[in-house]
Structure 1
Amino acid sequence: MFHPLRVRAVERITDDAVAVTFDVPPELRETFRHVPGQHLNVRYEAGGEEIRRSYSLCSPAVAPPDPPVLRVGIRLVDGGTFSTYALKELAVGDQVEAMAPTGRFTLEPRPGLFAAVVGGSGITPVLSIATTLLAREPLARFCLVRGDRTVASTMFLDEVADLKDRYPDRFHLVTALSREEQAGGLPTGRLDQQRLTTLLPALLPVPDVAGWFLCGPYGLVRGAQGALRALDVDRGRIHQEIFHVEDATPPAAGTTASSAGAAEGVDGAGVTVPAEATLTATLHGRSGSWPVESGDSLLETVLRRRTDAPYACKGGVCGTCRAFLVRGEVRMDRNYALEPEETGAGFVLACQSHPLTPEVTIDFDR
């Protein structure tokens, strides 16, 4: 469900990025109370078309009875409808519709050493995670390794510097710039797998890190994952969120099945598909069954009858459309949002899933 929120502030934080803060009315305070690392799904109408986008919350999580603080970072994307609107037109007093915070790239504060590798706007959810953790848990430490193009393009520069000043013994910051020399610190260059494999053990005791948080473009996250695998980090300690997938990147395809079924025909990937398929979906306690039109994803099938179906990016990145596969078998074209534990448990991304059996049943409520 979407709720109208009034814009309290729009702050220019780089030449191509803004931070937007929303007011939360008293009756919605519990609805919009977030866990550090979650994001907001917002919608906006442009030219008669509904645009939905997902933006991570950079503000620390606030416990009751204090009101929640909703602040998101938005970077301009080439051709991006909402990001262009946010940077050029959005003003204090405007209303934006948003869903309650969601997402599983989160950390509930607890003692221990934690670390993050981020690139560009990937700092946004990690800023919320680190700020909340250090403020609430005196026995926690955090190491942030961030990559940016230049100092001028670095989002939330002041907020990260403030963490260094407030927690000099518990917050460690390392910055790598790819297009600018630094007076001190790391040499110019990208944070790729080879560099991170050498760098991380020199910065901190890798086996002692209780949780790794990787966020940013697909290439950086993939490289960081490779480095951590090379350093024998347990997969259960690695959490990832991808902000951008380059067009040239091969899709992370996969099949998730709960039962076998007869199939007819072959799709473009050489996978057999049923000539006809029926989808049964449960959403907000209500169920319905509908035929899946040729080429449609499960999400598109539901949206034809239920406009309240959850989604944001439709690109397999944000995870908003996650659903539990109750029955049948599907193929996911791309999956950049679900952890292996989630797909292993039977969850799929409805926006990327196509039926491989005549009957498929999913549940958005689990």
Structure 2
Amino acid sequence: MFHPLRVSAIERITDDAVAVTLAVPAELRETFRHTPGQHLNVRYTVDGQEVRRSYSICAPATEQPGEPVLRVGIRMVEGGAFSTYALKELAVGDQVEAMPPMGRFVLKPRPGLFAAVVGGSGITPVLSMAATLLDREPTARFCLIRSDRTAASTMFLDEVADLKDRYPDRFQLVTALSREEQSAGLPSGRLDTERLTGLLPAVLPVPEVDGWFLCGPLGLVRGTEKALKALGVDRSRVHQEIFHVDEGPADVTVVKVAAPSDSVLTATLHGRSGSWPVENAESLLETVLRSRSDAPYACKGGVCGTCRAFLVSGEVRMDRNFALEPEETEAGFVLACQSHPLTPEVELDFDR
């Protein structure tokens, strides 16, 4: 369910990025408390069209009574309807509709050594993770390896520097700039699999890391996954969230298979079930949306994971999947926006 929230602050953090803070009414404070790493799905009407997007929360999570801080990072994307609006027109006092925080790319504070490899705006959820962990767990350590184009384009530069100042013995920072030379000893250029395989063991004891968090463009995330695999890291310790998929990965194949002409979808959402025919080549999400406008979605591109549902029965194919972990698909979860029926009857449960 979406709730109207007032914009209470807008900060320009780079030439093409802002941090937007949303005020939470007293009656919604518990609803909008977040776990570090979660995101908000927001919607707004731009030029008469409803636009939905997902933005990660960068503020630390709080357990204290009072208003939770909902601060999200937004970088302008070429052709992006909401990001362009946020940077050029959104003002303090405006209202934005948002769903409660969601997402499974999270770090619940606990003792241990944790590491993150991020690129560009991928710093946003990880900033919340690091700040919350270091504040709540006096023995926890965090290593942040971040890749950006230039120093001027680096989001949350001051906030990350503040973490380094506050926790000099527990927070380690390594920055790589792909389009700018750095001082001797600091990495420059793109962080690919080969470079990461050499860099990671040089900056921290890889076998001792309790959890890896990868966030940013598809190429960086996939490259880091390969490097960690080569270094012997167990897949269960690696968590990832992809922000951009412009590269068009070779290992994802979109298979155009005609759905059975008489397929019927049964779906459970918010405790209510219904059945509808699947028309033409539409996705199962589109089938549900024809009758249930409250069906959860944001990107419709297989990236954000908002439309995750459990496949109760039947078979489907997914065109793309950049959001679900292997263990989730093995357990029977699918992305409704990318799923098409392969059997005459399919049943989904959005409530699991």
2:83 corresponds to which residue? Answer: 83
Matching of residue 318 in structure 1 with residue 314 in structure 2: no
Deviations 1:317-344 (A, max 9, x none): 0000000000000000000000011101
1:200 corresponds to which residue? Answer: 200
Give the Cα separation in 1 of the matches to 2:294 and 2:185: 49
Deviation at residue 248 of structure 1 after TM alignment: 3.1
Deviations 1:339-364 (A, max 9, x none): 01110110000000000000000000
Report the AA paired with residue 345 of structure 1. Answer: A
Matching of residue 303 in structure 1 with residue 289 in structure 2: yes
Secondary structure at 2:295's aligned position in 1? coil
Deviation at residue 274 of structure 1 after TM alignment: 1.6
Deviations 1:230-267 (A, max 9, x none): 011000000000000015334735xxxxxxxxxxxxxx
Matching of residue 59 in structure 1 with residue 59 in structure 2: yes
Matching of residue 167 in structure 1 with residue 153 in structure 2: no
Counting only pairs closer than 5 Å after superposition, residues 40-51 of structure 1 correspond to structure 2 as 40-51=40-51
2:180 corresponds to which residue? Answer: 180
Matching of residue 351 in structure 1 with residue 340 in structure 2: no
Asked if the contact 1:316–1:335 (Cα under 8 Å) also holds between the matched residues in 2, the reply is yes
1:25 corresponds to which residue? Answer: 25
Give the Cα separation in 1 of the matches to 2:262 and 2:88: 46
TM-score (norm. length: structure 2): 0.98
User: More deviation in 276-285 or 60-69?
Assistant: 60-69
2:35 corresponds to which residue? Answer: 35
Give the Cα separation in 2 of the matches to 1:317 and 1:250: 16
Counting only pairs closer than 5 Å after superposition, residues 1-366 of structure 1 correspond to structure 2 as 1-246=1-246, 248-250=248-250, 252-253=252-253, 269=255, 271=257, 273-366=259-352
Report the AA paired with residue 314 of structure 1. Answer: K
Deviation at residue 49 of structure 1 after TM alignment: 1.5
Deviation at residue 48 of structure 1 after TM alignment: 2.2
Distance 1:310 1:270, change over 3 A: closer
Deviation at residue 144 of structure 1 after TM alignment: 0.3
4+ long deviations beyond 6 Å: none
Asked if the contact 2:116–2:126 (Cα under 8 Å) also holds between the matched residues in 1, the reply is yes
TM-score (norm. length: structure 1): 0.94
Secondary structure at 2:317's aligned position in 1? strand
Give the Cα separation in 2 of the matches to 1:8 and 1:307: 29
Distance 1:272 1:87, change over 3 A: closer
Report the AA paired with residue 262 of structure 2. Answer: E
Deviation at residue 273 of structure 1 after TM alignment: 3.6
Give the Cα separation in 2 of the matches to 1:3 and 1:53: 15
Report the AA paired with residue 19 of structure 1. Answer: A
Deviation at residue 78 of structure 1 after TM alignment: 0.2
Gaps of 5+ in 2: none
Secondary structure at 2:9's aligned position in 1? strand
Distance 1:48 1:143, change over 3 A: same
Deviation at residue 53 of structure 1 after TM alignment: 0.2
Secondary structure at 1:302's aligned position in 2? helix
Report the AA paired with residue 275 of structure 1. Answer: S
Deviation at residue 271 of structure 1 after TM alignment: 4.5
User: More deviation in 186-195 or 234-243?
Assistant: 186-195
Give the Cα separation in 1 of the matches to 2:143 and 2:172: 5
Gaps of 5+ in 1: 254-267
Asked if the contact 2:37–2:105 (Cα under 8 Å) also holds between the matched residues in 1, the reply is yes
Distance 1:109 1:333, change over 3 A: same
Report the AA paired with residue 3 of structure 1. Answer: H
Deviations 1:64-109 (A, max 9, x none): 3132100000000000000000000011111000000000000100
Query: What is the alpha-carbon root mean square deviation over aligned residues?
Result: 1.2
Give the Cα separation in 2 of the matches to 1:291 and 1:131: 48
Asked if the contact 1:113–1:140 (Cα under 8 Å) also holds between the matched residues in 2, the reply is yes
Asked if the contact 1:174–1:185 (Cα under 8 Å) also holds between the matched residues in 2, the reply is no
Deviation at residue 47 of structure 1 after TM alignment: 2.5
Give the Cα separation in 2 of the matches to 1:355 and 1:132: 42
Asked if the contact 2:259–2:281 (Cα under 8 Å) also holds between the matched residues in 1, the reply is no
Q: How many residues align?
A: 352
Secondary structure at 1:241's aligned position in 2? strand
